[in-house]
Amino acid sequence: LALFGQLLTEHWGVLKRIDPGCTNPFIDDLWLALAPFISGGKLAGAGGGGFALVMLRDPAARASLAHMLAARYPDQAVGLWPCAISTTGLAEELRS
């Protein structure tokens, strides 16, 4: 999973080189705040808001990350959303 996080970061770097307008000071600050907690990540969406897809360095740090985000961005819609990686793959999901 750590390698997956690194690949997400590599993809994010490519996107920023292709279109420097895909980031802004708020996103750059968010990325700095996330850095101690994550092995990597990228933004998802078409801009103007959306989600940061990140891989935690340590799943036990989830509560600390949530606390940091709430303290650093008290008046912003910044927080954690639950997600999971399918262990069966897309083909199994489509058969259900």
State the pLDDT at residue 73. 92
pLDDT of res. 93: 58
Residue 37 is predicted with a pLDDT of: 95
What is residue 10's predicted lDDT score, i.e. its pLDDT? 92
Cα–Cα distance for residue pair 28/13, rounded to 1 Å: 12
Instruction: Give every residue of the chain whose pLDDT is below 50, as ranges.
Output: none
67: helix, strand or coil: helix
Could you give the CA distance from residue 93 to residue 88 in angstroms, rounded to a whole number?
Answer: 7
> Is the separation of the CB atoms in 42 and 30 below 8 Å?
no
For the full predicted model, state whether its pTM sits above 0.85: no
Pick the closest to residue 54 from 35, 75, 74 (CA basis). Answer: 35
- The predicted structure's pLDDT at residue 33: 95
Reported residue count of the chain is: 96
pLDDT at position 46 is 60
Contacts with 47 (C-beta within 8 Å, 6 or more apart), sequence order = 21, 22
pLDDT of residue 2: 84
Give the per-residue pLDDT at 43: 84
Per-residue pLDDT at 34:
94
